[in-house]
Amino acid sequence: MSEKENKLGTLEEGQVRITNPFGPTVAWSRIPSSLVDKLNNYIDKIIEDKEKSSLLDHGKNLAGDVSQEFKLENKFSDEIGWTEFLRKNVATWIYYSTEKKIKKFELLSTWVVRQFKGEYNPIHWHGGHVSGAGYLLLPKTFGTPVQKEAKSSNSNGHIELVHGNRQFLSNSKLNIKPEVGNFYFFPHYMMHTVYPFTGTDEERRSISFNAKVDNEIFDVYAGEK
């Protein structure tokens, strides 16, 4: 078996290597600050334009109990480089996970979620093949938990990814504290939820997407048909 085929590699005496062969991978990237600014400037204009906000409204198609959710036009996403940012990072993530290069990246939709104090997104999953969520604007604080002594485990305003069951040597969830510019990529089927926050009237603004890649790569059973 070659080194390429043996993905666990070889070990020297006394070495320890940790691998994660079971369960889906999650990728993390940074949105360039110039792109964050372009997105926020455009989103602010949409918010002010009631007619356009209504036209792009996406809330009825999404799971969240939040103030506003609206789609961004694919043409705009292409023009400012948002689509390319997503494509490049998805390609890197999939190659790292599968050693396969995607030839297709079809952006199905990309949308903005405007969440305020007390609002939340229940556990849900997405369509397409790949999805993700990132952050454009955040409040100064997410507030403190009711039990203040539990502050170290405060999940206010966090996103939590969920997969499988908690068991020995395997956790079933990943809790992430948002940071402006951070973007997380995950398979469409990965369940996730966003917790409410308290203590401020400021906006928590996130951006998400759904896309398809080469079906031959997505369909892991394709070679068996």
Q: Is the pLDDT of residue 3 over 60?
A: no
Type of residue numbered 193: T
Read off the pLDDT of residues 126-135 as tens digits, 9 standing for 90 and up.
999 999 999 9
Which CATH number fits the domain that encloses residue 182? 2.60.120.620
* 189 neighbors 127 (Cβ within 8 angstroms): no
Both structure tokens of 189 = 């089927």
Type of residue numbered 82: W
Highest mean pLDDT among 2-6, 92-96, 144-148: 92-96
End-to-end distance of the chain based on CA atoms, in angstroms? 26
Helix axes 82-98, 33-48, angle to 10 degrees: 130
Q: Running DSSP on this structure, what letter comes out for residue 31? A: -
Which residue matches tokens 């940071």?
179
Q: What is the extent of the structural domain holding 180?
A: 27-220
Type of residue numbered 115: Q
Domain assignment of residue 19, yes or no = no
Q: Is the pLDDT of residue 102 over 80?
A: yes
* 154 neighbors 145 (Cβ within 8 angstroms): yes
Domain assignment of residue 5, yes or no = no
Domain assignment of residue 21, yes or no = no
If pLDDT is split at 50, 70 and 90, which confidence band does 10 have?
Answer: confident
- Lowest-confidence pick of 33-47, 97-111, 116-130, 138-152: 138-152
In a 3-state reduction of DSSP, which class is residue 104? coil
Portion of the chain with pLDDT greater than 70, in percent: 88
Both structure tokens of 139 = 């409040």
Count of CB atoms within 10 A of residue 81's CB?
14
Type of residue numbered 127: G
Type of residue numbered 184: Y
Domain assignment of residue 95, yes or no = yes
Give dist(CA 20, CA 170) in Å, integer: 10
Type of residue numbered 5: E
Domain assignment of residue 6, yes or no = no
Which residue matches tokens 């369960």?
23
Domain assignment of residue 17, yes or no = no
Domain assignment of residue 10, yes or no = no
Domain assignment of residue 16, yes or no = no
Give dist(CA 135, CA 55) in Å, integer: 23
* Total tally of structural domains belonging to the chain: 1
Q: Is the pLDDT of residue 166 over 50?
A: yes
Q: Are strands 159-162 and 173-176 parallel, antiparallel or unpaired?
A: antiparallel
If pLDDT is split at 50, 70 and 90, which confidence band does 145 have?
Answer: confident
Looking at residue 2, its pLDDT comes to: 34
